[in-house]
Amino acid sequence: MRRTTVAPPAKRSAPATGARRAPATTPSRRRGPRPRGGWTPWLYLAPALAVLGALLVYPVYQLGLISFLEYTQAQVSGGEPTRFRGLANYTDLFADDQFGQVLLATVGFAAACVLGTLAVGCALAVLLTRVRALPRLALLLAALGAWATPTITGSTVWLFLFDPDFGPVNRLLGLGDFSWTYGRYSAFLLVLLEVVWCSFPFVMITVYAGIRAVPGEVLEAAALDGASQWRIWRSVLAPMLRPILGIVTVQSVIWDFKVFTQIYVMTGGGGIAGQNLVLNVYAYQKAFASSQYSLGSAIGVVMLLLLLAVTLGYLRLLRRQGEEL
């Protein structure tokens, strides 16, 4: 596997050590020749800003607005006037037991998915560096396959694998006609397995690329000192990979917190008596099945705020490490 990027080799081996490459050490390279383009950068940015403004910022604004209104089917059809309700939608939401449960389930489920994905991804990335070309290629290709699988096909295929009547998994584990989607936790576990399956490749490949950029001498020195595998990972690799780990963690949090298709398809829209609802699906059901658009929007806003908090935490972390954006 040869590298074919445009990056000059000198830059490629160093950057994983983000903490060391503080911007202050190379001020002339970073700041000096970069042209002050006047209006040019804005010209380049114009299409992106236009698209984002119209299709992201404006809808987010509308989402916020709807969450303060009384907005149900009657209003949408124009039968009744929209009414400003202030925070009433939010108080309704937080007074609802089910919302609390769904919120808790979402956070717990996302956390489990992130941990599972990171653990599997990192472990396999390290494993990749320990094996010769053939097993490595096999694992890489399998991972790419899992990554490439569209979410919806992944969900249906996993359902089929765990089908109580026709699936091979129950047969293999001798579980008879145990129904995975019936119990709350077994259903979550099934979805979790699918989520980890389709999202660990991103972590694995990214971390693997990062480890390869770590100078061999460092690792050799550590190994000669008699450090164990786990110690090498903890004391040498992990600190060097911290920027990469930061990014894959944040991406995983973003993706896993927003899981929709898997839950929707695998648990049939939220499971028995709504036991497997997560915020995203809950918002969708509230809005589109029950036509309570304002409640659905309020749930969306809560999700947005939670993710925003994660992002801000991440940015703070970056800043403390002296990273430049």
Partner 1 sequence: MSRVRLPVRRPWRLAAEATALLVAAVVAFPLYWMLLGAFRPAGEIESTEPRPWTASPTLDSFRRVFEQHEFGRYFVNSLVVAGSVVVASALIAFLAATAVTRFRFRFRTTLLIMFLVAQMVPVEALTIPLFFLMRDFGLLNTLGSLILPHIAFSLPFAVWMLRGFVRAVPESLEEAAYLDGASRARFLWRILLPLVLPGLVATSVFSFISAWNDFLFAKSFIISDTSQSTLPMALLVFYKPDEPDWGGVMAASTVMTVPVLVFFVLVQRRLVSGLGGAVKD
Partner 2 sequence: MKLSVRLAGFTALAAVLATACAPQTSGTSSSGKDEKTGTLRVWLFQEVDNQPKQRVVDAVLADFEKAHRGAEVTVEYIPVETRAQRVKAAFNDPRSAPDVIEYGNTDTAGYVKDGGLADVTRDFDAWSEARDTDPTARRSVTVDGRVYGAPYFVGIRALYYRTDVFRRLGLRVPRTQAELISTAKRVRAARPDLYGLAVGGAYTYGALPFLWANGGDLATGKGGGYASALGTPAARAGIEAYTSLFGDDNCPAAKCASWTGNDTVTAFAAGKAAMAIGGNFSHAAVDAGKAKGKYAVVPLPGVRAGSIAPAFAGGNNIGVLKSTSHRTLAVDLMKRLASKQAQGRLFDAMGFLPTFTDVREQAAAKEPFVKPFVDTLAAGTRFVPVTPAWAQIDSSLVLPTMFQEIVSGRKDVADASADAAKKMDDAFGSAG
Give the footprint of partner 1 on residues 259-318 (CB under 8 A).
260-261, 264-265, 268, 279-280, 283-284, 287-288, 293, 296-297, 299-301, 303-304, 307-308, 310-311, 315
Q: Is 84 helix (H, G, I), strand (E, B) or coil?
A: strand
Q: Which of 88, 112, 115, 127 binds partner 1 (CB under 8 A)?
A: 127
164 binds partner 2 (CB under 8 A): yes
CB of 159 to partner 2, least distance (A): 13
- CB atoms under 10 Å from CB of 266, counted, come to 24
DSSP codes of every residue in 277-302: --HHHHHHIIIIIS--HHHHHHHHHH
Instruction: Find which of partner 2, partner 1, none residue 265 binds, CB within 5 to 8 Å per kind.
Output: partner 1
130 binds partner 1 (CB under 8 A): yes
185 binds partner 2 (CB under 8 A): no
Q: What are phi and psi of 271, to 5 degrees?
A: 80, 175
CB of 271 to partner 2, least distance (A): 8
Instruction: Find which of partner 1, partner 2, none residue 289 binds, CB within 5 to 8 Å per kind.
Output: partner 2
216 binds partner 1 (CB under 8 A): yes
| Helix intervals (H) in the chain | 9-13, 27-31, 40-52, 58-66, 73-76, 88-95, 97-130, 133-148, 151-161, 168-173, 184-212, 216-224, 229-231, 238-240, 242-257, 261-266, 279-284, 293-320
Binding mask 173-212 for partner 1 (x = CB under 8 A): ------------------------x----x--xx-xxxxx
Query: 21-40: which residues touch partner 1 (CB under 8 A)?
Result: 29, 31, 33-37, 40
Interhelix angle for 184-212 vs 133-148, to 10°?
130
Instruction: Find which of partner 2, partner 1, none residue 154 binds, CB within 5 to 8 Å per kind.
Output: partner 1
DSSP codes of every residue in 107-152: HHHHHHHHHHHHHHHHHHHHHHHHS-HHHHHHHHHHHHHHHHS-HH
Q: Is 174 helix (H, G, I), strand (E, B) or coil?
A: coil
Q: Which of 112, 115, 161, 272 binds partner 1 (CB under 8 A)?
A: 161
Tokens of 171: 């047969």
CB of 215 to partner 1, least distance (A): 8
CB crowding 115-139: b at 16 or more within 10 Å, else e: ebbbebbbebbbebeeeeeeebeeb
Contact segment (CB under 8 A) with partner 1 among 85-93, 97-105, 110-118, 167-175 equals 167-175
Query: 273-312: which residues touch partner 2 (CB under 8 A)?
Result: 273-275, 285, 288-291, 312
Q: Which is nearer to partner 2, 65 or 169 (CB)?
A: 65
* CA-based radius of gyration for the chain: 24
Residues in contact with partner 2 by CB under 8 A are: 53, 57-58, 60-62, 65-66, 69, 71-79, 82, 164, 177-179, 181-183, 268, 272-275, 285, 288-291, 312, 315-316, 319, 324-325
